[in-house]
Chains A and B, each alone.
Chain A
Amino acid sequence: MPAAPRRLYPERVASPVVRVRGVVKSYGRGRGAVRVLDGVDLDVESGELVAIVGRSGSGKSTLLHLLGGLDYADEGTIAVAGERLELLDERGRTALRRRAIGFVFQSFHLLPELSGLENVLLPARLARTGTGAPARARALIDELGLGDTAARLPATLSGGEQQRLAVARALVNEPALILADEPTGNLDEESGAAVLQLLRVVADRGRAVVLVTHDPAAGDVADRTLTVRAGRLHA
């Protein structure tokens, strides 16, 4: 895939894909409680790649999990693709994830029993998105240069190949928002750079991407880099 030119401003800014206001999240109870997020505000537009950095334990991944509806905020509001997460029950969140959110994890989390193609197809099968999914998955795999890996099990693939398959899996349902949690954390420098570039292209094609990372190179591909400090986001 050729590298796309970096764009500083998204083309479409009509309504943010992600809108976060005053989000608070604590772990533990009583005196031992730790307030990891303390009034976070964030907007992410379509076509925008936002990198979130910070020290370990600062709350970056927690914010990402809250955006994906994988966890529940104590206070504040989160809207994704126009849906208020705090108003959705688990069934509604599941439906939203199928439709609008794609995940990329640090440890790839490909299912070891499924081939590369089957892993990529999995969200489409869950969402029952019809007969177009296999062709879409195949096209994604080919576009990412993973044609040889489609029939193989994840255990036989390199980390870079696995992470690119994970990106393809996140894209197969054509979601509005991609959430990437340390996607380069388990990769070498070259593979990590390729994955970051891939996410850049994804954003350039109109998707909102939120990237949580320690990788300094992320700043080169991100439209904005925000730092989590003392439970809040700082530019």
Chain B
Amino acid sequence: MRAALAHGLARLRRDRTRAVLAAGGIAAASAMVAAAATLVFALSTGFDRTAARAGLPEVTARFAPATVAAVATRVDSLANVRRVAYRFEVTNSAIDADGKFANGTVVGVQRGPRGYAVVSGRDVEHSGQAVVEPGLARAWHLHPGARVTLSGPGRTLTEEIVGTGIAPDSVAYPLTRNPRVYVAIGDARALGGATSAAVNSVLLWVADPSQLPVTLEQARSATFGVSQLSFVTRAGFQQLIGRAAGIVIALLVAFSLVALAAAGIMLAASSSAEVQRRREAIGILRTFGATPGHLAAGYAAEAALVAAPAAAVGIVAGWLAVGGPVRRLLDVLNELMPGAPALAGLLAACWLAVVVLVASATWFPTRGVGRRPVVDSLREADVVATPRRIPLPALVGFGARLALARPFRTAALVAVLAASMAVVLLILTIASVLNGLQQNAQTLGKRYQLVVPASPGAVARARAIPGVALAAERYETDAVDSFDLGETFRFVSYPGDIARFEAPPLSEGRRVRAPGETDVGLGLAQALGLDVGSLLAAQLPSGAEIRFRVVGIVQALRDQGLVAYVQPARLLAAGTALSTDVVITLRPHADLQTVRNAFARSGIATSRSGGIAEDSGFTGSVGRTAFLDVLATLLRSVALLDGLVCVYALAQMLALLARERRRAVAVLRAIGASRAQVLALFAGAALLVAGFATPVGIALEQFVLGPVVGALAVSYVTLSLRAGAPEVGAVVAGVALAIAVTAGWATRTATAGVIVRPLREE
């Protein structure tokens, strides 16, 4: 072992360029590992981590205001309950601070468990104090000591902010339109105009979570007389949050797993290639009595010595690259970053895994070479016959042959490059989809181009504008499922054939044809267990109940699929307040701006139909856009790392080629090869790898990654993540650029010194 280690260390000292190259590769792969691991760990455990820190209850029950005594009697009858906390919540309270305003929920809390974690300042101790959620504090720049004014049906209160508190049962403001403020329960009751003993929410912590279904069953049977009761479990909250943000979190987690695999392949290929270069030395050491085990251990130790500092640098770089965006993403989800010890442990585990992987990837092939006949190693018997004819120009073809002389290395590099390209394609496709969701109404199934305010005669006036094909009133209103009042959704209504104005892809059934029919989004169908033929019973804000027969299920992206499309007759008959405007579709080839100008001349303001950014009103759009921006930043960070992996993989292959075949290059130069011809040689080698990797990478994305990640991302819609021509073109152009850059660099390196030096080496 010592002889091998001494030889390895001597090589390191003598050939520092090679050592730096190897270390650079390990650092790059380690950065990918750290970035992917940080993403996976932070995002996949975010809810549970924050729920544990906040002490989120297993069950949250909400009901119409009742006395504490009446509710406590029923709670006390439950067997499995460990702790209880009562609250009084005031929804739609006006929250006003520092000139900013929002409608939110004021939560009155008592002493005892609170169900949220104070992350800065202190908790509410008595009347006049408030804890705000971090999203609100960030958005409004609120700090402990600031004051917030709360207005409800009972009265208006001004409270001092004493801290910020986080609970993962909702996404953060402004992603959600309703921020939360925690106050003393007496203040909340006063705000809501309730009696001094009133509560309308109870948090339950159970002794045995596995018996939760039994406890819920008991609770339903024990709550006779409590009205408007709904239960939400911790798992239910997790599902709700997942529905809001799951689309891209799933994508990121899936990507990270792919990136981890690619990094592993790259490290293994690199280490294995290094062993191939030592075959002659292995043969010599075996001649003088070294055993395969000694050789493997010695070289593995040397590899570990190189890998340890390089991996440390890479791990830190990877964490720095994604740490900030991940924190921002978790912030908008109301979730906490992992603690420093957990993160340090994770990164240390990554570091150890990289070092062990590098050492193992050296140990196994070294032992394999060491076990072969010594004479094979001395003859460098690994240079194999290569295809005699490659349909490429002479030197390009020769470069390809040089690459094929190391078939396993070439295959490993093809695998790395293909995986990296597939991931980059996927990222570009995701970015394109996100952009479509944010900006393009058609992505959401909208077929109208303009929206104008509703007013008497607005439809007729709109139809008279040149270029307008259709104009109709659109009605929208929130509703809640009548059966358990636990699921809110939105009715969207157009007269006549709804598909003329909004037509998300039909997943099942048919389009609405009659006033008593509805097409529901897949998200709503999943939430309420609706099928074609089911009855959708909904309670409107006015308290009226209306019913529709489900005739179709559509893949609606808006509102996470919690939407029902109906004709307006029953909504209008229910006498509820409806949000109304007029939507406009244009004639084919009509110029949008010309039509808008015509509206403007008629004194009608228009707005364009938008994607998610314009889907939910001003406050919501700001939140969603910020959310998408954070995701885009995160994706860009990951794509950058992945692109660097591609470039590095090619550069490493060519650097190895230049070093291994330096005599061949010198001979070529001696017999008259110009730099351009040497460049053609290296480009040929790179082209061979890229030529195999490109179709494999594209196919991998088209037929495996795209469909699988698309299916993972959301269950309420079929999201196509198959790369289109622009994404494929961009990746192919990137690969071509990488080939040019790396071949140029390798040529420059290989032709930098005088020709005789490699020729003298025997």
B-binding residues in A (CB < 8 A): 61, 65, 68, 70-72, 90-91, 94-95, 97-99, 102-103, 105, 107, 109, 111-115, 122-123, 125-127, 153, 155, 169-170, 173
B69 interface residue (CB < 8 Å to A):
no
A155–B394 CB distance below 8 A: no
B402 interface residue (CB < 8 Å to A):
yes
The answer, among B385, B663, B677, B754, for a CB contact under 8 Å with A71, is: B754
Q: B588-621 vs A: 1/0 string, CB under 8 Å?
A: 0000000000000000000000000000000000
CB neighbours of B762 from chain A (8 A):
107
B398–A97 CB distance below 8 A: no
B388–A115 CB distance below 8 A: yes
Complex interface residues of chain B between 386 and 402 (CB less than 8 A to chain A): 386, 388, 394-395, 398, 401-402
CB neighbours of A65 from chain B (8 A):
755-756, 759
Once A122-B668, A126-B671 are accepted as A-B contacts, the answer to whether A71 and B401 lie under 8 Å apart by CB is no
Residue of B nearest to A100 (CB): B672
CB distance from B260 to the nearest CB of A (A): 35
Q: B662-687 vs A: 1/0 string, CB under 8 Å?
A: 01100111111111010000000000
B405 interface residue (CB < 8 Å to A):
yes
CB distance from A174 to the nearest CB of B (A): 13
The answer, among B394, B674, B759, B760, for a CB contact under 8 Å with A125, is: B394
A70–B383 CB distance below 8 A: no
B401–A127 CB distance below 8 A: no
CB neighbours of B672 from chain A (8 A):
94-95, 97-99, 123, 126-127, 173
The answer, among A71, A111, A173, for a CB contact under 8 Å with B398, is: A111
A123–B756 CB distance below 8 A: no
CB distance from B533 to the nearest CB of A (A): 70
Q: Indicate the member of B385, B401, B754, B755 with the most A CB atoms within 10 Å.
A: B755
Once A107-B762, A113-B401, A155-B383 are accepted as A-B contacts, the answer to whether A123 and B754 lie under 8 Å apart by CB is no
CB neighbours of B667 from chain A (8 A):
105, 109, 111
| 21 CB-based A-B contacts, threshold 8 Å | A70-B670, A71-B755, A72-B754, A94-B673, A95-B672, A97-B671, A98-B671, A98-B672, A105-B759, A111-B664, A112-B383, A112-B405, A113-B401, A114-B401, A122-B668, A123-B671, A126-B395, A126-B671, A126-B674, A126-B677, A127-B672
A91–B383 CB distance below 8 A: no
CB neighbours of A72 from chain B (8 A):
754
B670–A71 CB distance below 8 A: no
Give A170 to B669 CA distance when docked, in angstroms: 13
Give A70 to B671 CA distance when docked, in angstroms: 10
CB neighbours of A109 from chain B (8 A):
663-664, 667, 759
CB neighbours of B401 from chain A (8 A):
113-114
Residue of B nearest to A107 (CB): B762
Once A125-B394, A155-B383 are accepted as A-B contacts, the answer to whether A97 and B754 lie under 8 Å apart by CB is no
The answer, among A94, A112, A127, for a CB contact under 8 Å with B669, is: A94
B671–A169 CB distance below 8 A: yes
Give A100 to B669 CA distance when docked, in angstroms: 14
Give A97 to B674 CA distance when docked, in angstroms: 10
B671–A122 CB distance below 8 A: yes
Give A227 to B759 CA distance when docked, in angstroms: 23
B405–A97 CB distance below 8 A: no
CB neighbours of B760 from chain A (8 A):
61
Give A169 to B668 CA distance when docked, in angstroms: 11
Give A155 to B380 CA distance when docked, in angstroms: 11
Give A109 to B756 CA distance when docked, in angstroms: 13
Give A93 to B342 CA distance when docked, in angstroms: 62
B671–A71 CB distance below 8 A: no
CB distance from A22 to the nearest CB of B (A): 21
CB distance from B451 to the nearest CB of A (A): 67
CB neighbours of B669 from chain A (8 A):
94
CB distance from B688 to the nearest CB of A (A): 12
A113–B402 CB distance below 8 A: yes
The answer, among B385, B664, B668, B677, for a CB contact under 8 Å with A153, is: B385
A94–B674 CB distance below 8 A: yes
Q: B722-762 vs A: 1/0 string, CB under 8 Å?
A: 00000000000000000000000000000000111001101
Give A125 to B393 CA distance when docked, in angstroms: 10
Give A152 to B665 CA distance when docked, in angstroms: 21
Which 10 residue pairs of A and B lie closest in terms of their CB atoms, listed nearest first?
A98-B672, A70-B755, A113-B401, A109-B667, A123-B671, A65-B756, A126-B672, A70-B756, A97-B672, A125-B394
CB neighbours of A97 from chain B (8 A):
670-672
Complex interface residues of chain B between 636 and 674 (CB less than 8 A to chain A): 663-664, 667-674
Give A107 to B664 CA distance when docked, in angstroms: 12
Give A109 to B663 CA distance when docked, in angstroms: 8
CB distance from B548 to the nearest CB of A (A): 73
CB neighbours of A111 from chain B (8 A):
398, 664, 667-668
Residue of A nearest to B751 (CB): A90
B398–A114 CB distance below 8 A: yes
CB neighbours of A61 from chain B (8 A):
760
CB neighbours of B675 from chain A (8 A):
90-91
Give A126 to B759 CA distance when docked, in angstroms: 19
CB distance from B627 to the nearest CB of A (A): 55
CB neighbours of A98 from chain B (8 A):
671-672
- Beyond A70-B759, A103-B671, 14 additional contacts (C-beta under 8 Å) are A70-B754, A72-B754, A91-B674, A95-B672, A97-B671, A98-B672, A109-B663, A111-B664, A123-B672, A126-B668, A126-B671, A126-B673, A126-B674, A173-B672
CB neighbours of A102 from chain B (8 A):
671
CB distance from B408 to the nearest CB of A (A): 16
Give A191 to B91 CA distance when docked, in angstroms: 101
Residue of A nearest to B403 (CB): A113
Give A167 to B505 CA distance when docked, in angstroms: 73
Once A70-B759, A113-B398, A113-B401 are accepted as A-B contacts, the answer to whether A103 and B754 lie under 8 Å apart by CB is no
CB neighbours of B754 from chain A (8 A):
70-72
CB neighbours of A173 from chain B (8 A):
672
CB distance from B277 to the nearest CB of A (A): 16
The answer, among A68, A99, A155, for a CB contact under 8 Å with B670, is: A68
Once A113-B386, A113-B405, A126-B677 are accepted as A-B contacts, the answer to whether A103 and B755 lie under 8 Å apart by CB is no
Give A153 to B673 CA distance when docked, in angstroms: 21
CB distance from A123 to the nearest CB of B (A): 4
Once A91-B674, A97-B671, A103-B671 are accepted as A-B contacts, the answer to whether A71 and B756 lie under 8 Å apart by CB is yes
CB neighbours of B405 from chain A (8 A):
112-113
Give A72 to B759 CA distance when docked, in angstroms: 15
Give A155 to B398 CA distance when docked, in angstroms: 17
CB neighbours of A99 from chain B (8 A):
672
CB distance from B757 to the nearest CB of A (A): 9
CB neighbours of B383 from chain A (8 A):
112-113, 155
Give A107 to B667 CA distance when docked, in angstroms: 11
CB distance from B1 to the nearest CB of A (A): 32
CB neighbours of B663 from chain A (8 A):
109
CB neighbours of A114 from chain B (8 A):
398, 401
Residue of A nearest to B669 (CB): A94
CB neighbours of B402 from chain A (8 A):
113
Give A112 to B663 CA distance when docked, in angstroms: 11
CB neighbours of A115 from chain B (8 A):
388
Give A212 to B386 CA distance when docked, in angstroms: 34
Q: B306-339 vs A: 1/0 string, CB under 8 Å?
A: 0000000000000000000000000000000000
CB neighbours of B388 from chain A (8 A):
115
Residue of A nearest to B754 (CB): A71
CB neighbours of A122 from chain B (8 A):
668, 671
CB neighbours of B670 from chain A (8 A):
68, 70, 97, 103
Give A50 to B388 CA distance when docked, in angstroms: 39
Complex interface residues of chain B between 121 and 155 (CB less than 8 A to chain A): none
